[in-house]
A = this chain, B = another copy of it.
């Protein structure tokens, strides 16, 4: 079994992503950048640590979120396939809007590149278009910078914003209470998180990206690039409902994301379905612990919904009609704090 750089099991941090250094730097940045403008320039709504910033402008509340596809682009470059990561620009952003119950309205993209290759841009554009149609939302603009002295190849990112249709309020997780049920909507694969670790594992084991894994038909490279599933239509169908208490996009940080939604209850995931074989394959490739897997990858479920206990079936029916017939109950809420996976004896106490 191949293991980490010093012979120990692989972790996200051993792969080179120093989450602690990032948090510390971010705190340094925010210390200087905090500023509350006069109300004539909009009123910021407090949802600290949440997926999206919320701002009251005139008679509307706007949600804004920004994210990049990250190092998944390096795999795209290796395989010369750009449509999937183009679609991911949309997915990584609009799913964060869905996590506050906002309906997506627009996206701007930012592409940094060393040189502008028409065929790569055309493929990214096709992927973007597919993502926008799935959401649905409009491309409102973008920035394309040719900066060979800054980026080695490509960086793909975006900013999405959404709104709350008349009568809908942001879903912040504050109304989650013991007894609530937790529904999960499956992911389409590993989405766009954890790729620095994935690339290290693949390089170390010299895995052939052009061949399928045992029992699969899709070449591994294509399987890994599968675009992030977009949850906005499903969420839009239940976000108006009073029984929808909390929403979480299982992105970077994995299951820990539930804690940012509400830190005063315990999320007990006692019905988590067996993760798709890709995750187990990755796990064994790096002798990775279950604890590390569930805080780095989505482990088969890309979006979580916390609903009032009496409304489980009704929510499932609504989700099914809106494109998520595969939503399943994965757990419930108890008194306590953090996230617990009893089958694996895991407990996450904090978001970071």
Q: Which residues of A contact B (CB under 8 A)?
A: 16-18, 21-22, 24-26, 28-38, 40-42, 44, 52-55, 57-60, 62, 64-68, 70-71, 73-74, 86, 103-106, 108-112, 115-129, 132-133, 135-155, 157, 159, 161, 163, 165-166, 196
Which listed residue, B30, B53, B139, touches A125 by the CB 8 Å rule?
A: B30
A–B pairs, 24, beta carbons within 8 Å: A21-B116, A24-B118, A25-B116, A28-B118, A30-B125, A33-B125, A35-B133, A37-B132, A37-B135, A37-B136, A37-B137, A41-B138, A42-B105, A55-B105, A55-B138, A58-B166, A59-B59, A62-B106, A64-B140, A68-B147, A70-B145, A71-B147, A74-B149, A150-B151
CB distance from A342 to the nearest CB of B (A): 33
7 further A-B pairs in the complex, CB-CB below 8 A; given A55-B140, A62-B106, A161-B161: A21-B146, A25-B121, A29-B121, A35-B129, A35-B136, A58-B165, A73-B150
B58 and A103 form a contact (CB under 8 A) = no
CB distance from A92 to the nearest CB of B (A): 10
| Chain B positions within 8 Å of A30 at CB level | 125, 139
A127 and B161 form a contact (CB under 8 A) = no
| Chain B positions within 8 Å of A144 at CB level | 22, 25-26, 29
B55 and A58 form a contact (CB under 8 A) = no
| Chain B positions within 8 Å of A65 at CB level | 108, 141
Bound together, the chains give a CA A103 to CA B41 distance in angstroms of 7
Which listed residue, B116, B127, B143, B153, touches A150 by the CB 8 Å rule?
A: B153
Copies in the complex: 2
CB distance from A41 to the nearest CB of B (A): 6
| Chain B positions within 8 Å of A60 at CB level | 57-60
| Chain B positions within 8 Å of A70 at CB level | 145, 147
CB distance from A269 to the nearest CB of B (A): 27
CB distance from A230 to the nearest CB of B (A): 13
A163 and B33 form a contact (CB under 8 A) = no
B161 and A62 form a contact (CB under 8 A) = yes
| Chain B positions within 8 Å of A163 at CB level | 42, 57-58
Chain B residue with minimal CB distance to A20? B116
